[in-house]
Amino acid sequence: MFPSRPTPRAQRPRHGRRPLAVLAAAGTVAVLATSCAGATGAGPAPPPSVPNPEAAGAELTEQDVNAWLDGVLPAYLDQAQIAGAGVSVVADGELLTARGYGYSDVEAQEPVDPEETLFRVASVTKTFTATAVMQMVEAGELDLDTDVDEYLDFEVDKSYDQDLTLRHLLSHTGGFEERVANAMLGEGKEVDLRSVVSEDPPEQVYEPGTTPAYSNYGIALAGYVVENTSGTPFTEYIEENVLAPAGMDSSTLEQPLPEELESRLSEGYVLDEEPAVERFETVSDSPAGGLTSSVTDMAEFMRVHMEASEGAGVLEPETIAQMHEPALGEESLGGLAGGAQMGLGFFQEERNGNRVVSHGGDTDVFHSEMQIYPEENAGIFITLNSSGNSSLISHSMRLALAEGFADRYFPGEQADGGQVEPTAGEHAALLEGNYTSSRSIHSNFASALYTVDETQIVATEDDTIVLTSPETGQPTEYIEVEPWVWREIDGHRTLAADVVDGEVRAIGTTAFTFIPVDENTQAAVVLPVAISSVAVIVVAILSWPVSAFVRWRTSLPKRDRTGLWARLLTRTAMILTLLGFVGWALALNVALSFEPVSFGELRSIQVVQGLGALGIFPAAYVLYDNIRRGEGWGRYIGSSLVLLALLGTGWIATVFGMVAGSVSF
């Protein structure tokens, strides 16, 4: 549900998760690395051109918006092979237009109806959860800065002594690592919100309030605070206190959908030419991504967050304003406060000099974007029912449409930040290096995925920096406009760095925070070790039958039995090592396909991997024995390579938690 990523099938895992590739069944780290890198490294296909620049400053009228959308969206859908889309636009605080394009059911040739067709809006749900929390803050039932344990019937497992507050949860600074497994529930299973947030939670890896790290778990926990404090199931609370007052009678958090809405849900597709995905995507942490809605209902929600609507009977205007302000300041975030920030449930952006609050969201097949201009009393909501034909196409397409909307109707002037800082060259050089997203896994084997998902920053001769990230799929150039603050050249994004004692602690953007990569686990170290080690093991295993065949055909004498036990144990260890990597790859593939993986299966893989790692001891003896007996350079080199390969795979397995520790991912 992330303001929301692999092959078209797994393109942007659930409601905005980081891009994780669907892993190949080959299962070796080398193959895993190749498949991941290929998936996330490919840039999005270029969308059709956004409207004619001469139209910038067009009047925001129903006739003009309809003509603009009709001229742009059908071409977008056709190029991206997306089956259907819905769009709603609000102007002057009222619904201006709602449009449907393509099909909600390709086989039945059922067109998208903007009033009737329902879509899963994924992470956009988070803004509803934040709205519910703020209702209770407004009523005095909750406090943003009180430890959440005060509102729960269990104690949150924390790694830091500092309080964990609702302010942290709503601004994604609770400090929790990413979680992949059990994101979606199997057919027939119901959401148990208390179980989701209390049993086996993700590890808290950052001090609360210091490091934005997008967290579905954090928002789900905030939702459970609402449920436990109000005494009303979260789904019912949202329906009674947010959806109904806002006039959203075609929306629900119920999963699966109630009978009266079920037939209205659009089918979901990977590509428009492929069969619809059969399963209903039941989101386990429903406050973070469980909402189903229509584009006209989403227009009603956008109205709630516009100045002219004065909260539309859902919240007081002062509360709305508070949600749209930065949630934290420099005393908490350090230098990151100098860039774009989170409000309470909303991302904050600036486009053409206009303030925008926004949120995107993605399930496996549904993709949405909501952008609100509070002071202009305008907004646009876009939703797609297909992932499209390249890894980032649904993301780039909806953002191109949102940016086209801004450039056409709110052109303004893009702020340039003033004079370029004299420190630009020095600071650019300090930022140069490799980074990983704060939204990642730290405590278990799945952390290995992030070694092939690195962001690179390069300092240029012009004292600018170029950031290349899997999240955007293309290099972006920034120039320093304030000390430790950079603005995208010919764009609206900003970067801000928190530098402590001359070391970069973190770099923040509108939606992501980047952390310097540990030198020992960066891709430049891990991938060569993994690829070469696995290659040696595979070649060695394949050589065994070849050697046996050659001996049989040439009547070469068999090796004597001295050291046979060590050779057999080494061979067994190589097989187990390879099986361990295959097991992890298959487990991740299942999890990323939103199927359950049992604790017992993962522990079994861990045991297999651990036994394989023990092979370094017999392998060392084999090398010693070969040298002792003068077996010749061929055997010296072969046994040395096998020992190094087992050392390499054992190091990787140990560093990334494949032989011990948590298997909750």
pTM of the model: 0.87
pLDDT higher than 70, residue 56: no
Region 35-63: what's the mean pLDDT?
54
179 in helix, strand or coil?
coil
* Region of poorest pLDDT, from 14-18, 50-54, 498-502, 535-539: 14-18
Higher-confidence position of 9 and 374 = 374
Strand-pair category, 465-468 with 475-482:
antiparallel
Confidence of residue 312 (pLDDT cuts 50, 70, 90): confident
Give the residue-averaged pLDDT of 647-654: 93
When pLDDT is cut at 50, 70 and 90, the band that residue 325 belongs to is: very high
Whole-number pLDDT of residue 635: 87
Cis status, amide bond into 233, omega within 30 of 0 = no
- What integer best gives the mean pLDDT of the chain? 86
pLDDT for the residue 182: 75
Using the 8-state DSSP alphabet, how is residue 198 labeled? H
Integer Rg of the chain from CA: 27
pLDDT for residue 386: 96
Confidence of residue 590 (pLDDT cuts 50, 70, 90): confident
Of 492 and 485, more confident: 485
The model's pLDDT over 533-587, given as tens digits with 9 standing for 90+, comes to: 999 999 999 988 887 777 677 766 666 667 889 999 999 999 999 999 999 888 8
CA atoms of 17 and 456, how far apart (whole Å)? 20
For 429-472, what is each residue's pLDDT tens digit? 999 999 999 998 888 777 877 777 889 999 999 999 999 987 66
650 contact partners, CB below 8 Å, separation of at least 6: 577, 612, 613, 615, 616, 659
Residue 41 pLDDT class (50, 70, 90 cuts): very low
Domain boundary assignment for the chain: 8-27+40-409, 424-516, 523-655
pLDDT score of 594 more than 70: no
pLDDT score of 8 more than 70: no
Q: Which range in 97-111, 492-506, 563-577 is most confidently predicted, on average pLDDT?
A: 97-111
In the prediction, which pLDDT does 16 show?
43
| Cβ atoms of 644 and 533 closer than 8 Å | yes
Residue owning tokens 């049989």: 552
**Which pLDDT score is estimated for 17?**
35
Q: How many Å apart are CA 19 and CA 41, to the nearest integer?
A: 10
Instruction: Enumerate the H helices of 486-563 as residue ranges.
Output: 523-554
For residue 295, pLDDT beyond 50: yes
Q: What gap in Å lies between CA 637 and CA 352, rounded to an integer?
A: 63
Nearest Cα residue to 51 out of 376, 384, 402: 402
Q: Please report the pLDDT score of residue 447 as a whole number.
A: 81
Tracing tokens 């071409």 back to the chain, one arrives at 75
In this predicted model, what pLDDT tens digit does every residue of 631-640 receive, in sequence order? 889 889 999 9
pLDDT digits (tens, 9 = 90+) for 132-146: 999 999 999 999 999
Cα separation, 640 vs 624, in Å, equals: 9
Lowest mean pLDDT among 9-23, 94-108, 224-238, 549-563: 9-23
343/211 Cα distance (integer angstroms): 14
Tell me if the domain spanning 8-27+40-409 has CATH number 3.40.710.10: yes
**Confidence grade of residue 226 (pLDDT, cut at 50, 70, 90):** very high
Mean local confidence (pLDDT), 618-625: 94
173 and 208 Cβ atoms separated by less than 8 Å: yes
